[in-house]
Structure 1
Amino acid sequence: MRYEKRSSPPAPVLGLRENAAQFTLLVAVNALVGGMVGQQQTVLPLLADSEFGLTGYTFIFTYVAAFGITKAIANYFAGTCSDRYGRKPVLLVGWLFALPVPLMLIAAPNWGWVVAANVLLGINQGLTWSTTVVMKIDLVGPARRGLAMGLNEAAGYGAVAVSSLLAGYLAEHYGLRPAPFLLGLAYAALALLLSGGFVRETRDYARLEAAHHTPRTDGLHDHLHAELTDRQVALHTSLKEPALSSASHAGLVNNLNFGLSWGLFPLLFATADLSIAQIGLLFALYPGVWGAGQLITGGLSDRIGRKHLITGGMVIQAGALTVIAASDGFAGWAVGAVLLGCGTAMVYPTLLAVIGDVAHPIWRGRAVGVYRVWRDLGYAVGAILGGVVADLMGLHAAVWAAAAVSAAAALLVAVRMYETHPRQPVLRPPSRLAPDAS
């Protein structure tokens, strides 16, 4: 009897083109992650008012705060577990948490069910979105990291926009429940199929990059060696390392604006007697421009650097919120939403690229997790700040407050962050980062 030698799997090679199939699959999975959020953003504030009779803004925003806090905690565990146990198991567990969410929203007899569903959604988002980010960074290596993050975030937030529009259409024609939430059920089922059957583990790509890692020649990262403890990674990403920590704080303000918009914008737009479809369109403009813009800004940061895009984007966000706060009708709000999307597109993928630039491949998953803890706490901070200010001073005052916070964040980045984009290629052919290339 003749035995054939089983061929071993091909050695990992870093690069976007070299890993195009897996990268594209992960982009599709991340679009489904974003769709889970988009299915509810237009509908839940209206559901709170029409079916549950909630009028206090702070109480209505509890579901956004619950989502943000839970997602922030899940991000930390996503980063730690993906470094320790691998990326794919974390991704699969995250999607299991998504399955009950649309069913709970459809059946919810009171607002507590909605809050509980958003706790599960926060776990889902933290585990799945963090993991797809880390997996894409693993695959592409340092040369096109900004482009990779732009494609990732464009898919996620483009799906938020499309799902917001679809949910608004379904709600207007078929009612607030159950039709809009059937989208989420379909997204979760498809994502489980793709993640379980077709996504491959990427941790070996990070190990490969670590084996060829070249530190900066200017000495800025000499203190960031490979063997950092979880506590050291958290301290550097949160407070000590100037680029990592200022990125974390800017990320918090970005999602403060998103959390505020999620809970407050539909209520603000409803003061002008707009239809559900018009409110859905206005809300979709922000993540739609944000998502599409990242197709440009991610790659642009690979060419011109990170810092100026982040600083300029924060300034534009502050201006956009000023326009929204000063407006009372569809036209002004539409202009402000487009500007807010442009500013966020400049910042969002670029902040992730900063984390990838600075963090060592061995602890990069943990650094991404800690950064996303800070960033996604912004949902809760925005919801609470927006709710309290809106209750005390009105909806427009809450948007003015967010504009002031965004301007302060721009100043912090301008003063504290240094340029993190590598000035020369770190990893290049002919070895193409294959093992034993020498």
Structure 2
Amino acid sequence: MQPSSNPVSDSLPNNSNRSYRLWLFCICAGMLVYFTQVTALFPVLPLYVTQRWHNAPVGFVVGALAAGLLFFRPPIGWLIDRWGRKPVLLTGLGIMLAILPLYLWSPNPFWLMGVRVLHGISQAAFATASQTMLIDLVPPVRRTAMLGYLAMCNTIGYSLGPLLGSLVFAQAGFIAVVFLLAGSILVSFALSLPLPWLKVSRSKQSIEKQSENSFPWKVIVRFPVRDATLLFSIGSFLHGGVVTFLPLFVSNSALFYSLNALVAVLVRFGLGRWGNRVSQRWVVSIAIFCSGTALIGLSIAPNLLIVWSLVYGLGFGSLFPVLSAIVSLAAPTAVRGRVYSIFLAGFDSGMTLGGAGVQPLVQMLPLSTLFLILGGIGWAVSLIAFRQFAQPIVVSQATEGK
């Protein structure tokens, strides 16, 4: 599989298979390192904010990152198509490195909320540009597989980060955590240097005109991008409910998170090996069905926590790689950054609604009933997904430069 088979770039040089593999390794390793440093703050930041300002609004400070992700993904997608993938990727790393001292120098919690918004912008820029570049480089037949590997690296980062952050914070304090984050960003910079400077082909005037200014709504609001984005948002909505409220429902929620992450890694590794051989229709419907089943199981028999964590990891772990591959096939190369930014914004909005949006229900319903409702939503959506993704997914001609 040679990179020259992908005509995404007019200026991409003729490279050996070794260069192609190096690019894919750098993207996956960079994602692992970046999300390790992002999640290192998860268990640490609330403690730091509380220790420094006592009655500070911890939830708003921590959640401000989501605002940066949610509101800035679309303009970042525009920049990815306008500037190119690598410049936006490096810009995201540069923003992160620049704001790290502000975690220590912020005079009040509201200032720190602004820092967290910038952190979200950095994450949106780096993650969206990295994943768009991977899609550019990988032929369609291998996209589900490679996106499975990329998602696996992401999940490993999410598993390692909290453990590493907690350990460093307990041993040396928050300043040491900031230095840990800075070192991780420098490693990500080093991994980004070998990546190619891809430029989108401008051979078709209609695509060029569309890519200059507006969002490609004709692509976004039609099948399969529309359906994949909505399904990803609903899956993230269920996940947001689990992340936010499970610790209030069971005492050993850490075991659920650890096993869920482990299963997600294994599932995504499996998709990396055999994802192109499995029907996408079956994967997406079974994935959301498994997530719903796990939530219903938690509401009825929380003592079987290990079983439900395994089932949930099977579902949520397989959802993103397959949906991402579906979107990549339908998105023309010239507007792929913007299409992909909207798709990823589905995750941001789903996570936000699953936390803050469900909060009013917590005041009225027992948590067991809440999880039962969320699981029922998962079951219903799985049936809709099975029906919708029976439609043939037509590969955009502009996507592959035909």
TM-score for both structures, normalised by structure 1: 0.75
The answer to whether 1:309 aligns with 2:283 is yes
Distance 1:409 1:51, change over 3 A: farther
Query: Is contact 1:64–1:259 with CA below 8 Å preserved after alignment?
Result: no
Distance 1:85 1:341, change over 3 A: same
RMSD of the alignment, in Å?
Answer: 3.7
Select the residue among 194, 201, 206 that pairs with 2:197.
201
Find the aligned partners of 2:370 and 2:178 in 1 and give their Cα distance.
29
Query: Is contact 1:153–1:348 with CA below 8 Å preserved after alignment?
Result: yes
| Pairing of 1:405-416 with structure 2 (within 5 A) | 405-416=377-388
Query: Is contact 2:99–2:115 with CA below 8 Å preserved after alignment?
Result: yes
Q: Which residue of 2 aligns with 1:236?
A: 219
Which consecutive unaligned segments of at least 5 residues does structure 2 have?
1-10
| Pairing of 1:95-174 with structure 2 (within 5 A) | 95-99=93-97, 103-105=101-103, 111-112=109-110, 115-170=113-168, 173-174=170-171
Select the residue among 235, 241, 250 that pairs with 1:260.
241
Find the aligned partners of 1:87 and 1:131 in 2 and give their Cα distance.
5
What's the offset of the Cα at 1:365? 2.1
Select the residue among 328, 340, 346 that pairs with 1:356.
328
Distance 1:382 1:236, change over 3 A: same
Select the residue among 319, 322, 338 that pairs with 2:296.
322
Find the aligned partners of 1:339 and 1:50 in 2 and give their Cα distance.
38
**Identity of paired residues, percent?**
18
Distance 1:155 1:421, change over 3 A: farther
Query: Is contact 1:321–1:400 with CA below 8 Å preserved after alignment?
Result: yes
What amino acid is aligned across from residue 369 of structure 1 in structure 2?
S
Distance 1:427 1:184, change over 3 A: closer
Find the aligned partners of 1:265 and 1:108 in 2 and give their Cα distance.
32
What's the offset of the Cα at 1:281? 4.9
**Per-residue displacement from partner, 1:259-313 (whole Å, max 9, x unpaired)?**
33443344545xx3x5xxxx65543333332233211124433112311100100
| Pairing of 1:45-60 with structure 2 (within 5 A) | none
What amino acid is aligned across from residue 26 of structure 1 in structure 2?
I
Distance 1:245 1:287, change over 3 A: same
The answer to whether 1:284 aligns with 2:269 is no
Find the aligned partners of 2:393 and 2:273 in 1 and give their Cα distance.
12
Query: Is contact 2:45–2:62 with CA below 8 Å preserved after alignment?
Result: no
Query: Is contact 1:69–1:380 with CA below 8 Å preserved after alignment?
Result: no
What's the offset of the Cα at 1:333? 3.3
Find the aligned partners of 2:247 and 2:304 in 1 and give their Cα distance.
15
What's the offset of the Cα at 1:323? 2.8
What's the offset of the Cα at 1:62? 3.7
What's the offset of the Cα at 1:390? 2.7
What amino acid is aligned across from residue 298 of structure 2 in structure 1?
I
**Per-residue displacement from partner, 1:217-274 (whole Å, max 9, x unpaired)?**
xxxxxxx98865665623532x3x12111100011122223333443344545xx3x5
What amino acid is aligned across from residue 187 of structure 2 in structure 1?
L
Query: Is contact 2:219–2:330 with CA below 8 Å preserved after alignment?
Result: no
Distance 1:377 1:130, change over 3 A: same
The answer to whether 1:11 aligns with 2:13 is yes
Distance 1:30 1:250, change over 3 A: same
Structure number having the greater helix percentage: 2
Q: Which residue of 2 aligns with 1:188?
A: 185
**Per-residue displacement from partner, 1:187-230 (whole Å, max 9, x unpaired)?**
223223332x33222335xx39x89xxxxxxxxxxxx9886566
What amino acid is aligned across from residue 36 of structure 2 in structure 1?
G
Query: Is contact 1:168–1:280 with CA below 8 Å preserved after alignment?
Result: no
The answer to whether 1:346 aligns with 2:318 is yes
What's the offset of the Cα at 1:61? 4.6
TM-score for both structures, normalised by structure 2: 0.81
Find the aligned partners of 1:95 and 1:34 in 2 and give their Cα distance.
12
Query: Is contact 1:73–1:126 with CA below 8 Å preserved after alignment?
Result: no
What amino acid is aligned across from residue 194 of structure 1 in structure 2?
L
Q: Which residue of 2 aligns with 1:248?
A: 229
What amino acid is aligned across from residue 258 of structure 1 in structure 2?
H
Query: Is contact 2:216–2:338 with CA below 8 Å preserved after alignment?
Result: yes
Find the aligned partners of 2:374 and 2:46 in 1 and give their Cα distance.
19
Query: Is contact 1:72–1:377 with CA below 8 Å preserved after alignment?
Result: yes
Query: Is contact 2:207–2:334 with CA below 8 Å preserved after alignment?
Result: no
What amino acid is aligned across from residue 259 of structure 2 in structure 1?
L
Q: Which residue of 2 aligns with 1:76?
A: 74
* Secondary structure, counterpart of 2:334 in structure 1: coil
Which consecutive unaligned segments of at least 5 residues does structure 1 have?
1-8, 212-223
**Per-residue displacement from partner, 1:378-413 (whole Å, max 9, x unpaired)?**
121112123333344354444334323323332331
Find the aligned partners of 1:17 and 1:310 in 2 and give their Cα distance.
33
Find the aligned partners of 1:52 and 1:403 in 2 and give their Cα distance.
38
Of 370-379 and 402-411, deviating more is 402-411
What's the offset of the Cα at 1:135? 0.5
